[in-house]
Structure 1
Amino acid sequence: MDRANLALADWLARRGGPVRLVAYRVEDSLLRYPNVRFIRVPKPANAYLLGEPLLAAVGRFWAARTLAEGGQVVANGGNCQVPAANWVHYVHGAHTPEPVGGPLRQWKGRLSHRVYLRREQRALRRARIIIANSERTRQDLLAATGVEPSRVQVVYLGSDPSRFPPTSPSLRSEARASLGWPQDRRVALFVGALGDRRKGFDTLFEAWARLCVREDWDVDLRVVGTGAQREEWERAARGRGLGERIRFLGFRDDVPRLLAAADLLVSPTRYEAYGLGVHEALCVGIPALVSRTAGVAERYPSTLQGLLLEDPEDVGALVRRLEEWRARGPDLAPAVAALSSELRAWTWDAMAAELVARLEA
């Protein structure tokens, strides 16, 4: 279940009023509330393309009933066309994916994008208010749909300071010991799917290959994530002699520990409506290199502009940013700590309360 949706549903459930959740699945913790009703929608063959028409139909039924009873309705993007609120975490009209794999997989990817794009435009044009997770997303929505600007408002995503507390030398040492990482090597982290080019791992891989040719580059890369290209990237790393410098960790459910153990997060993404992984790295207190076009980059103060990448395609520029971080990493600590404190103060509960206030207004 999407983390932001979980936060909103949990906040509403704790208020005590009735909460209806129409979804393929929800977090088990929500089902413990007596005032929460989960309307489960099947997903044939575990395929979103087949499941979304069912989700839309069931969603419209319960939305109409809820609105008739005087309640509020929140949909996500193109998943349900209702005259209510739409909370957008990703804009299909802002990014054309580049599917990888065989011809059938690529054809399916292109077809899915066209279908999602049509659904998104119809749903957003019908919405009474649209909540965007960043100003970048807001501008993408206006460009993609042409809706009245006053209908699109920004509420930034929240954070869980208890799950992503600020790290320290002792916490980093403990985390590294538990992971089996050496204490005397710097470690950079990449977190993202390896199924297409959106997250920019190809750019990072080439940058790392250039850096590792140098004897003085003493930073190792850990890659968290899975996808259709994972095995291909592992073979490429071995083929270029990077098997010891780039380690692929696959899917992990201990990202807070990995962040606490790392020195840097790298995210040269080609499209990111917000960038919760970068947000969480900053909450932990480690610097994060990210594309300037990512929504989360709006949160960076002037003192951290050197961590923003102008072009996710530019391998040379990423190499220079990594070199700059390696040379002056300690100098960034005060600015990173200040931003970390600011982000941790804006909790998921604060986000949920602000979002509901916008809807009620």
Structure 2
Amino acid sequence: MRRPYTLIAGDFVATGGMDRANLALALWLAKQGGPVRLVAHRVAEELLGYSNVRFVHVPKPGNAYMLGEPLLDAVGRAWALRTRAEGGRVLANGGNCPVPGANWVHYVHGAYVSEPVGGALRWLKGRMSHRMYLRGEREALRRARVIIANSARTRADLVAATGVPESKVRVVYYGSEPQRFRPVSPEERRAARTALGWPESRRVALFVGALGDRRKGFDTLFHAWARLCARGDWGVDLKVVGVGAQREVWEREAQAKGLGERIQFLGFRKDVPVLLSAADLLVAPTRYEAYGLGVHEALCAGLPALVSRTAGVAERYPAALRGLLLDDPDDVDGLVRRLDAWREHEAEWALHVAALSESLRSQTWDGMAEAIYDVVEREG
């Protein structure tokens, strides 16, 4: 019988990078047969089918993570004490619960200050929540016995932001679903395009990300796209997947600039693998990305992905694909040059993208979970 494990995180569901990673770890632990306690706001239904999994539900007042954080902290501490007394292991996420166990960092609040858009109330809420997350992050990481980071970039950021010794941090990259995100045949690609209503004659680039603030860099992409379309020789359309407070603003801006046919807003989609199989390029000029699961999944699908050089996932790119890395996510001209370079070098980069795709698909979510388990067993 394996020792009990308590995992403390906001969500264990299949949406979002950190939530998907949390789900993968919880599922792997559940399959091992030992007691698994999930202290969280939400968990996926498939986890509840395991008799050894206990969901300790933590309310989220007003559906706001900021209000749910103190409750998650209090309940998590109580279950951490119980689990440690039983000889078990505890793993928390970032600053959500300071415990003397393992901590898995998906995002470093001290590395980036979000720029919320909207009115004064939204701005004030953003500043208050950021200060709260910073305090929790510093306390939690200083108390942790071992810290797991999702990239070397995350490791460097958390060391700089919190002062924890680098020797306490281990890097474990995210895994993937190689059957769900994989290169497709020409026939499968044509079928996907037909199902989506995309003509074969038009090339398509994708942007996948929230439109609630400037972190994902959509503003830079929008202005770069406007310049490219104004030239008349840019035969690529942009499809935008994501929701947020700024979606309608950007839709109106696209219409005002005569780009309604060149930039299409698809909203929230559950068929991202189909979209990736039908597209020609993913563009992610993010201002801060601890890792970048969306880029990772695009590459697994064999799709070239243009991403900011500072994103954690950029560490996985070989030298031959450095042309797909954007130096400055605020540089519209730089993004235009990178997009032109993709069109010019697409054929010669294709083999390198295929090799990277194969490499990324070789580490599954189960492989990632087992690597984390090994770290926690040794040092947590």
Residues 156-214 of structure 1 deviation map (CA, whole Å, 9 limit, x = unaligned):
00000111121232221111111111111110000000000000000000000000012
Answer yes or no: is 1:139 the counterpart of 2:138.
no
Hey, what does 2:91 align to over in structure 1? 74
1:170 aligns with 2:187: yes
TM-score normalised over the length of structure 1: 0.99
Cα deviation code 1:314-337 (max 9, x no counterpart): 000100110111122111110000
Kindly report which structure 2 residues correspond to 1:1-361, keeping only aligned pairs within 5 A, or say none. Answer: 1=13, 2-361=19-378
For 1:334, the aligned partner's letter is L
Residue identity opposite 2:176 in structure 1: S
SS in structure 2 of the partner of residue 182 of structure 1: coil
Q: Which secondary structure state, in structure 1, belongs to the residue aligned with residue 89 of structure 2?
A: coil
Aligned equivalents of 2:375, 2:58: Cα separation in 1 = 28
Structure 1 Cα separation of the partners of residues 89 and 347 of structure 2? 48
Q: Deviations over 1:259-283 (max 9, x none)?
A: 0110000000000000000000000
Residues paired across the two proteins, number: 361
Q: Which runs of 5+ in 1 are unaligned?
A: none
Distance in 1, Cα, partners of 2:347 & 2:259: 27
C-alpha separation between the residues in 2 aligned to 1:251 and 1:307?
A: 26
Q: Quick one: distance in 1 between partners of 2:327 and 2:317?
A: 14
Give the residue type in structure 2 aligned to 1:218. G
- Measure, in 1, the Cα distance between the counterparts of 2:70 and 2:172: 28
Residue 309 (structure 1) shift: 0.4
What code does the residue aligned with 1:100 have? V
Name the % identity: 72
Moved over 4 A (4+): none
Measure how far apart 1:61 and its partner are.
0.4
1:63 and 1:228 map into 2 onto residues whose CA distance is: 37
* Counterpart code for 2:70: P
Q: Please give the secondary structure, in 2, of the residue aligned with 1:73.
A: strand
Q: For 1:186, give the aligned amino acid.
A: R
CA–CA distance in structure 2, aligned partners of residues 168 and 216 of structure 1: 28
What is the RMSD of the two structures over their aligned residues, measured on CA atoms?
0.6
